[in-house]
Structures are given as C-alpha cells and as structure tokens.
Amino acid sequence: MEPGAVSNKSNGNGIGNHRQECEFDIISWFDEVSENAGFVQRETLRRILEENYDVEYLKKWFGDNKIQEMDACALESLFTSLVPLASHADLDPYIKRIADGDTAPVLTKQPITTLSLSSGTTEGRQKYVPFTSYSSQTTLDIFRLAAAYRSRVYPIREGGRILELIYSSKQFKTKGGLTAATATTHYYASEEFKIKQEKTKSFTCSPEEVISGGDYKQSTYCHLLLGLFFSEEVEFITSTFAYSVVQAFTEFEDLWKDICDDIREGKLSSRITLPKMRKAVLEIISPKPYLASQIEGHCYKLQSLDWFGLIPNLWPNAKYVYSIMTGSMQLYLKKLRHYAGDLPLVSADYGSTESWIGVNVDPFLPPENVTFAAIPTFCYFEFIPIYRQKDSCQAIDDFIEDEPVPLSQVKVGQEYEIVLTTFTGLYRYRLGDVVEVAGFHKRTPKLNFICRRKLILSINIDKNTEKDLQLVVEKGSQLLSKVGAELLDFTSHANVVSQPGHYIIYWEIKGEVEERVLQECCCEMDASFVDHGYVVSRRTNSIGPLELCIVKRGTFKKILDHFIGNGAALSQFKTPRCTSNQVLLRILNDWKIKSFHSTAYR
C-alpha cells in the first residue's frame, strides 16, 4: 500500500493529501501516521473490511451484519468480537483451495494469483501465504522509508551502488496454476524492486540473472566478483538476514584468488556453469588488472589478520553494512563486526512473509538496542499480552495470555504476541512472534523483537524459548572467546529417547579448543538456564545432564544445503535453533566429533 493510502480514501484527516504534496518527504508522512496511529489503524481495518466484507471467510463470521454502514470504531469492536483469532492452520484449508485453483472470493475480493512461501526454517515447514501487488508495494514503501532514516545518519552518494547479497528461490506453479515462491523472490522479480533502485538512487551490482540463478554458490561468487568489480562505487553492503553476509564473506576467504584472476582478465571462472548467469556477468565485466592487484594486496594482508576489517579494506567507500541483525541473527553479529571493522552495522527492518511490521527509525543504534516502529497503515495490528508462567506444571502452554488489545493500547515494558489483519486475506492471524514494547515513535509503538513464541526446548515441566537458549549459548561461548576460538553456528534438540530426557546443544566452532574448556562450556550452559522448570528438573535429575556436541566444520553448510535443496531461499534462511527433523539430526550426529556431558547440578 502506498504511504498515505489510508487517507486517500477521503477519510478527512488530510494525511493522504499531505503525503501527495510531500512526495519526497516520506519521513513526514510516517511521523503523521504515527501521531494518529490509533485513528489510522481503525481506518486501515475499515479499508480491509470494506474491500473484502463479502468474501467467504468473513461472511462466515459476520453473518448478516451490514458492516458498510458502520463507523470505524463500531466496526473495530464488531470485528474483534465476531472474528476469532486464527493460526496458520485455521486458514490453511482456505489457502489450499486457492492454491488448487478455486477462484471464488475465499479470503479476498481481488483474486489471488501468487502465493508466498514463508522460509519454514523457523518452524520446519514451509507455509503458503497470499501475496498480492500490495505486498510488493509495502516492501517498496518500507525500503524507501528506512533508506530515508538511514541517509539522515549515514548519507550516501546518489547514483552509487549497493553490494546486495540477495538470492531468489525457484518460482513454481501450484496445482491450480498460481505462481509460488518466497516473498523475497517475488519482490526481486517485481517492478517495485526496479523502482526502489530509482527512488533510492542506489543500484545493485548484480543483474537479475545472478539474483535468480537458483544456485546460491554460483550467485555468491558472482555477487562478490561484481561487488569488487564496482568496489569504488559501492556505498553499502546488504542482505536480508545477516547470515547471508557472513556466509558470503566466509566463502570469500577461499574464493578471493579466483575472483582476482577473473577481474584481472575480465573472464569468469569455470565454476559458474549456468549459461544465463555467465552471459550476464561477462557482459558487465572487463579486464581491470590494476584493481585485481590492489585487491590481491589487501587480501594477503587481510589473511594475516584473520580477515579482520575485510569490508572497509575492499570497499573503501562503503558507509555501513545493512541487514537484519536482531533475533536469531544476533549470533552472527560478532563475525559481522569482525569483517566490518570500524564500519557501522545498521540493523534492518522487521517483517515477515505475512506482512511488514516495523521500521528501524534509529539506524545509529547498535543492533543489540534496535527497536521497530510499527507502521500503522500496512495492516491492522492487535497485541496479545503474554506473561511467562513461573511455577506451572503444564508444559503444553508456555505463556499466560490476556485479551488482545489494539495498537493504541499497548504498554511499555509489556510482552505481546503480534496478531495481523492484512489486505492479503489474513484475519486476526497469530504471527507467532513475541515482542516487547520498548517505547513510542509519536504514538506508534516501538517493538523490541524477543523471539518466536513457540517453545523450542521442553521435556516435561521445563519451558525454554529461542531467546532463553540464545542467552545460554552466549554465556557458554564466552569461554571460547577467551581461548581465541569462535562459535560459528548452533542448534539444539530435546532428546527424549533416552531416559531421563536431556537437552543436546550442537556447536560448530572455529579454532582449536582444549577438551577441558569445552567441558566447562557445557557445564556453564547447563547452569545458565534460568527457567524454574528446568532448574527443578535438573536438581531432581528428571532431566539429565546437558550434552554439548561438537560437529565438524561445514556441518551447518550441509544443513543450509538441505534446506535450499528443499526449496528454501538463502535470502530468508534462518538456522533452526532447535530441531526434531530426522534428516537434520542425522547430519548432526553423522558429523559429530566429540560430545561432553554437564557435571553441573552434581
């Protein structure tokens, strides 16, 4: 939705007109919708419902209520009293019918011709979500808004380039002939992606053939090659999730000699076998022997520094690195900082396949402190207050819930699960993300991403979320830093096959670490879980000692390959922090080098 579209519908608040007058001042537009967030939210809901009130799903709940004649306040309370909260599973049968070719207005009045696949790397199963032109438009809007905030702090040269480490997955047709792919894939293929480059006056280094090549190793090579070919012009380096930046530069440590040869001679390594990609890249590059020698010189020096400061050395005009660095991406911050040296890390915005949610209005903040201002025009938000259960014996539910509240009623310091009602046919849809309200931008809440709501580690009365696990792993891995080693990636598994059940944490590490230290890391993690259920169960030995498994270098790359092979896109990839997936467990166990059992609680 175009910024201001809420008020374009002549609601009389003048925001839409104001937006049109200030086409270039997207920040003023955002300030205004944020100032009127409660009002704008009700209008957003009214628009969604006016457009779609007679679709099958809504009719089921609204019955004969004549919603067209209602004012926005009455409509809001009717909507939340009649339409139930829904999970993806509740909407799945409707979405499936659409995927199978049912053209009746099931969820939206406008026919849905495209479906997105959520990455599925957090919950293990990819889910279909409707995608419309509205989805690409909001992506363009948030990118422009975020770019405006960034350029206030870190201005970039107009007409410069961006090294965008982005990847499309394959598009395919559903049974009913709808195009399906990840949301990022749809976006990179859309007009809006081209418009974004023009509006933000920054152009990506790689052509479409590299982004959508479908082989992430070949795409990464070409992204790096072209990024270096245009290195003088590159203003910033970006990817969707920080994982891809770290992954690309880790590859670079092995690829740089071949890349330099290609730049020197204006040729392309034989490792690039995709004809379209080869052709497109060869049309761009030409011999640059001086640049190749310069890069080589830097790389020899960087190698001796373990690649510290790789980015500013090779991209001397880059102003920052921009990517999602919050949530499960925090693990990669250390490595990212290592590559970025003194270059600022700017944490990118908060969104999901279902909808964009919030923008980082404080790009100068370190990623650890970043919050996201909810955008009140993109969808209608509700927030379910949630409280962690302290002494419950029920492992089924992880939190106690209160009644959902609208955006205008959230409280600072409270944790909530986000609920979305979108223009793309999701009604009171539980996103499954937990956020904390950290403050306000005008009158729209600034959200601190906490974690996915689903419990990830639980054996009996213990309940640990992704965030709990992350904190524990951070503590344990501090001991690694002290001996000059680093944690590259991790995941976990609640093993209930052997009795008593116990947690297994898998680590891939870089550097030599004595067994004594790893044993200490293992105990440190076991002792660092603060969840009462875990502590009590460990004391009584109803949960066994935590096991730390060290896996061979390259194990998590193999896991990535497994996901990509199943259709996930690198741009949306997130290492699952807990898994029960048998294929993944087989990889992890086959590649296990050593394991340690905690002696904490003895």
The answer to whether 349 and 140 have CB atoms below 8 angstroms apart is: no
What is the spatial distance between Cα 157 and Cα 203, in angstroms, rounded to a whole number?
11
What is the spatial distance between Cα 316 and Cα 234, in angstroms, rounded to a whole number?
8
The answer to whether 269 and 258 have CB atoms below 8 angstroms apart is: yes
Cβ-based burial of 565 (10 A; exposed 0-12, middle 13-18, buried ≥19): exposed
What is the closest distance, in whole angstroms, from the C-beta atom of residue 425 to ligand AMP in the complex? 16
CB closer to ligand AMP, 310 vs 357: 357
Burial letters for 546-556: b for 16+ Cβ neighbours within 10 Å, e otherwise?
bbbbbbeeebb
Antiparallel, parallel or unpaired: β 234-241 and 320-324: parallel
What is the closest distance, in whole angstroms, from the C-beta atom of residue 325 to ligand AMP in the complex? 8
The side-by-side arrangement of strands in the sheet containing 202-204 is: 202-204, 160-164, 234-241, 320-324, 345-347
What is the spatial distance between Cα 289 and Cα 265, in angstroms, rounded to a whole number?
7
CB closer to ligand AMP, 89 vs 497: 89
What is the DSSP secondary-structure string of 533-575? HHHHHHHTTSSPPPEEEEE-TTHHHHHHHHHHHTT--GGG---
What is the spatial distance between Cα 36 and Cα 444, in angstroms, rounded to a whole number?
8
What is the closest distance, in whole angstroms, from the C-beta atom of residue 449 to ligand AMP in the complex? 4
What is the closest distance, in whole angstroms, from the C-beta atom of residue 92 to ligand AMP in the complex? 15
What is the DSSP secondary-structure string of 141-194? HHHHHHHHHHHHHS---TTEEEEE-------EE-TTS-EEEEHHHHHHHSHHHH
DSSP-H helix ranges across 212-274: 216-229, 242-265
**Please, which residues bridge with residue 346 across strands?**
322
CB closer to ligand AMP, 240 vs 313: 240
CB closer to ligand AMP, 205 vs 419: 419
CB closer to ligand AMP, 434 vs 480: 434
CB closer to ligand AMP, 204 vs 347: 347
End-to-end CA separation in angstroms for the chain: 59
What is the closest distance, in whole angstroms, from the C-beta atom of residue 561 to ligand AMP in the complex? 18
Residues lying near ligand AMP in the complex (CB under 6 A) are found at 118-119, 122, 324, 326-327, 350-353, 431, 433, 449, 452, 572
**Please, which residues bridge with residue 464 across strands?**
457
CB closer to ligand AMP, 39 vs 356: 356
What is the closest distance, in whole angstroms, from the C-beta atom of residue 416 to ligand AMP in the complex? 14
The answer to whether 388 and 450 have CB atoms below 8 angstroms apart is: no
CB closer to ligand AMP, 348 vs 527: 348
What is the spatial distance between Cα 113 and Cα 392, in angstroms, rounded to a whole number?
46
CB closer to ligand AMP, 233 vs 433: 433
CB closer to ligand AMP, 122 vs 389: 122
What is the spatial distance between Cα 427 and Cα 420, in angstroms, rounded to a whole number?
7
What is the closest distance, in whole angstroms, from the C-beta atom of residue 229 to ligand AMP in the complex? 30
What is the closest distance, in whole angstroms, from the C-beta atom of residue 72 to ligand AMP in the complex? 28
What is the closest distance, in whole angstroms, from the C-beta atom of residue 570 to ligand AMP in the complex? 12
What is the closest distance, in whole angstroms, from the C-beta atom of residue 466 to ligand AMP in the complex? 9
